[in-house]
Amino acid sequence: MIKILNSKSKNFDLALDKLLLARKNKIKLSSVSVAKIIEDVKKNGDKAIIKYEKKFNKNNIIMPTSKQINKSISLLDEKVKKAIDLAYSRIYQFHLLQKKKLSNISYTDKLKNKLEYKYVPLESVALYVPGSTVSYPSSVLMNAIPALVAGVKRIIMINPGQQGKQNSAVLYAAQKCKIKEIYSIGGPSAIAGVAYGTKKIKKVDKIVGPGNSYVAAAKKEVFGDVGIEGMTAGPSEVTIVCDKFSNPEWVASDLIGQAEHDTLAQCILISNSKDMIKKVKIEIIKQLKELPRVTIARNSILKNGILIHITSKKKTIDVVNKISPEHLELNIKNYKNIVNKIKNSGSICVGKYAVMAMTDYNVGSNHVLPTNSSSRYSSGISVNEFIKRISYINISKKGIETLGPSVITLANYEGLTGHAKSVEKRIRRK
């Protein structure tokens, strides 16, 4: 049964912490089994990947041919193609603005020391696009476009299919983003394959993209040997703040829209109106019956869903910041009073028409966002994710002679005499 909490209850904070932690622990359990899979792929390469593909996806094909890809794309509905084209255009424009805001720094001080700070694109990235139960062409766009704008030369896509067949829309989106390397693989074994390389797969520098708890766990496991996003990407979450002016039918549909992703997805409702909470609950029960993915959505809501009654504006802000949701909807009349006080969220939709689903597709913002409270310290996917920053230093003779003695003092203090001597030798040199 869906949990209902009241902020005025004596043990409210403890109860909320317990519920949030319970879900986190479920997600963490996934890491136990992925370690063995990753080691297997490191040792046995393509053979291990095929083994897991046969087991989980009934697939024995690692890389589809260009003929298979083009044939699949040719069958795609033109209406879907146009929808992808529109989304591509809007997402590209927004991320292009991000790149334009990135400016290299060049500074020369009074001693004629020159310091520079330059942005350099990564050389290769792998984009994980979920696809075992549903297909997400939108995730292709959200991952690939920022990489494309950043200037990444090699962009590959890993996308699990069923029996070696990948979704036509996913393939079209990949083609639209100029992705030429496509692998019909998924799960922890796919993550290991692109992280360490096999005979058929050349390893990459970074892996990005959302996935289920096992994919998220696998990415954490390979981190250090390869880069990943500075966040936890998946399973999905939404927190909605509503009031008596909200439409319960709309709010319920927004919650269900997130719940249908994954049984570990989390949907939280916060309202100052008990009546609104009751109405939303009724609508959830009603709308679930009409949903094709009803089993997934119902399990998600029953196991991880929380309805919270809070009358205090300050408490609402505190609770939202504690939850640190992936998606936040401020479906309230006076959202301007609190929006600037929300510090922890991947994205914030304000107003009754700013529905999360729009941000998932073609508004232009990115939908690959920090989950599992990682919005406390990280952000969603952007152009920044695909560039690195390099410092360039040119020190003048006057610079080392003026600043060097202080460096020698500090280096000797820290016991690093080799550091000190490397400076001393240059100062003494005539």
Any catalytic annotation for residue 249? no
DSSP-assigned letter for residue 114: E
Catalytically annotated residue among 326, 329, 367, 385? 326
Any catalytic annotation for residue 237? no
- On whether the CB atoms of residues 56 and 37 are closer than 8 A, the answer is no
- On whether the CB atoms of residues 192 and 225 are closer than 8 A, the answer is no
**Residue with structure tokens 């959302």?**
210
Instruction: List Cα–Cα distances, 146 to 65, 66, 140, 192, 375, in angstroms.
Output: 26, 24, 11, 23, 19
Instruction: List Cα–Cα distances, 245 to 69, 308, 340, in angstroms.
Output: 49, 17, 21
Query: Taking the C-alpha atoms of 17, 18, 22 and 25 in order, what is their torsion angle to the nearest 10 degrees?
Result: 70
Pairing of strands 306-309, 327-331: unpaired
Which of 360, 234, 244 has its CA nearest to residue 300?
Answer: 234
- Determine the Cα–Cα distance for residues 372 and 265; give it in Å rounded to an integer: 10
Instruction: List Cα–Cα distances, 293 to 11, 163, 168, 342, in angstroms.
Output: 35, 21, 21, 32
- On whether the CB atoms of residues 371 and 359 are closer than 8 A, the answer is no
Q: Which two tokens stand for residue 129?
A: 């696009």
**Residue with structure tokens 């390893």?**
203
| Residue 39 amino acid letter | E
Catalytically annotated residue among 221, 327, 367, 385? 327
- On whether the CB atoms of residues 155 and 125 are closer than 8 A, the answer is yes
Q: Which two tokens stand for residue 147?
A: 């990489």
Look at the chain and count its residues: 430
Q: Which residues are catalytic?
A: 326-327
